[in-house]
Structure 1
């Protein structure tokens, strides 16, 4: 039994590493990089890493990553959230340096590219969650209130990030990108459904009492 648990834990971590690492590796071998400057490349890979972190977040909060206690999972979730916000800052800053007019169009929702608004909406949702997480104690947000705010924003982050990524025809390889996006959606749906189920069962238990 212990051997099976150990093998299962290893498989989960390997699968997660492949889900994030393969798209990054394939993007690193893209021919399009030959015509890109270092700042643009850095910005692009920051965006890919950010999408990978969006996959990790629900897995952490749902307790699906072996070897992490509930408390440690929440702590890692907190730090990954900060890293995600930093990756988005690098992504946006790099694109701003390489093409300010395009970024202005994107931020003002006047860009002709269909992927821009999804990315901008996801960005603001990420920054909002990060700011609220920093101010949570000062604002006195209880767990129930925090979830009421956080879950809808998490849905916006996931949906916006996936749409943004899928609509971009860039350095990411098509199949690995699609697989990563599907995994992000699946993880988010599973965790949110689990939280909703627990809330429903808790409500039924209180009603019976």
Structure 2
């Protein structure tokens, strides 16, 4: 049973990511697009896939990657996520600079642009906070609150951004991937919060 459960978890996660990438690769919307635009679009899909992996790694939900090992991978995936976002935005900048400028200034007429910019800056801030945690000796509670708040913005902004775009990702696969991102993040945050409350109460229980 454990092996079946592990295989099922990996199949769902890998399937959602691979199907989304495959549908994006075969989308008819790419027929007249240049290579830079295609790379930028794929970087966006990869970024959303990495957002799905992050809570699964941090909470140790992926079979074969318990919490200590999962969090080490989580720390490596963070910079990869930032890199994918940079490639996504840089590629769109090269293909249409005015649109990117409007988006960054929140002047774009397309609602999805603002959500994408919010998710981008939140991801950058979360990565910067993680990098400065030890040098600045940020207290664990303050770091968790800050990192969690930024992660929620990344997920919320990224999911709304993806759902509002009529792009290369298939509508069903996009909906499934976004639902998995929201579900994985919500469950991981709930479990980690419950674990912190439990460990906080144990010393008090001993004194009683």
Shorter-chain TM-score bucket reads: over 0.9
Aligned to 1:58: 55
Residue 84 (structure 2) pairs with residue 87 (structure 1): yes
Structure 1 residues 94-116: Cα deviation after superposition (integer angstroms, max 9, x where no partner):
00000000000000000000100
Aligned to 1:116: 113
Please report the TM-score for the alignment, with normalisation by the length of structure 1: 0.94
Residue 1 (structure 2) pairs with residue 18 (structure 1): no
Q: Which residue of the other structure, out of 22, 29, 34, is the alignment partner of 1:32?
A: 29
Give the match's secondary structure for 2:135.
Answer: helix
Aligned to 1:131: 128
Aligned to 2:198: 201
Give the match's secondary structure for 1:68.
Answer: coil
Residue 170 (structure 2) pairs with residue 173 (structure 1): yes
- The Cα shift of 1:207 comes to 4.9
- The Cα shift of 1:143 comes to 2.7
Structure 1 residues 67-92: Cα deviation after superposition (integer angstroms, max 9, x where no partner):
11322111100000110000000000
Q: What are the ranges of 5 or more consecutive residues in structure 2 without an aligned counterpart?
A: none
1: CA distance, partners of 2:137 / 2:25: 44
1: CA distance, partners of 2:127 / 2:183: 23
- The Cα shift of 1:7 comes to 2.6
1: CA distance, partners of 2:39 / 2:13: 22
Residue 62 (structure 2) pairs with residue 68 (structure 1): no
Structure 1 residues 124-168: Cα deviation after superposition (integer angstroms, max 9, x where no partner):
011111112222211112332221110000000000000000000
Aligned to 2:39: 42
Q: What are the ranges of 5 or more consecutive residues in structure 1 without an aligned counterpart?
A: none
Aligned to 1:107: 104
Alignment RMSD: 1.3
